[in-house]
Amino acid sequence: MSDIAAGSEDALVVVDLQIDFCPGGALAVSEGDLIVPLVNRLLALSRPFKAATRDWHPAGHVSFQAQGGLWPPHCVAETPGARFHPGMDADRVDLIISKGALKDADAYSGFDGTRLAAELKSRGVRRIFVCGLATDYCVRATALDGRSEGLEVVVLEDAIRAVDVKPGDGDRAIQEMLGAGCALEKSVDIPE
Ligand code: VGL
Ligand code: ZN
């Protein structure tokens, strides 16, 4: 096993742990809320830089069904559903990255059209620990882009959940991330 103690060249990237992606939300991910305590333990670690992405769409976003997209309206900027899960210790986050904010472009990855890569590089980050929602969309895209940015990527398998539009999508996404050189670990194995 690689050394997964989180140090100063590591960053935590919490993906889209928002009300609309949790049970009761507009695009609920089954058990999405169950990762909150695991994410909070990670946010309490002293050393890694902590970033959190949020899906932050304008009304009438291209990904919404009325516009021909796949999804019900979700995470509309400045609405309650776009807030972080109320149980998430969001005050420990160093950097919030909003994405998907352009009406005509979807952005599953936290790196897509954002300053995330530049912020991480300017802080000397070489490895990211990725957790959040959803395994088969924004976690997958963020992890794969992290590799493309030249980062080591550790996906925390106990602190992610999948939409699974088709059964097995989450598992296939994990295989794809592994194929791209991501490591798979459990958040509970990261020491304090
Ligand atoms: C996501 C579907 C649509 C995600 C975002 O955060 O995984 N999924 N928009
Ligand atoms: Zn979205």
Centroid of ligand 1 to alpha carbon of 163 (angstroms):
9
What CATH number does residue 119 fall under? 3.40.50.850
Q: Is residue 2 part of a domain?
A: no
pTM metric for this prediction: 0.98
Ligand 1 pocket, residue 55 CB under 6 Å: yes
Catalytic residue among 22, 33, 99, 145: 99
Residues 40-52: tens digit of each pLDDT: 999 999 999 999 9
In a domain, 59, yes or no: yes
Q: How many CB atoms lie within 10 A of CB 30?
A: 14
Cβ 176 vs Cβ 147: under 8 Å:
no
Question: 128 is written with which tokens?
Answer: 């990211």
Please report the atom of ligand 1 found closest to the CA of residue 16: 6
To the query of whether residue 16 is one of the catalytic residues in this protein, the response is yes
User: Is the residue at 192 inside a domain?
Assistant: no
What range defines the domain where residue 106 resides?
10-186
* Nearest residue to 189 via CA among 45, 78, 11: 45
Asked if the structure places residue 58 within a domain, the reply is: yes
**Residue 5, domain member (yes or no):** no
Report how many domains make up the chain.
1
Q: Is 22 in the pocket of ligand 1 (CB under 6 A)?
A: no
Q: Are 19 and 85 in contact (CB under 8 A)?
A: yes
Find the 188 Cα to ligand 2 centroid distance in Å.
Answer: 28
Tokens of 53: 């992405």
pLDDT tens for 70-116 read 999 999 999 999 999 999 999 999 999 999 999 999 999 999 999 99
Q: Is residue 191 part of a domain?
A: no
Mind listing the pLDDT tens digit for each residue in 110-153? 999 999 999 999 999 999 999 999 999 999 999 999 999 999 99
User: Annotated catalytic, 103?
Assistant: no
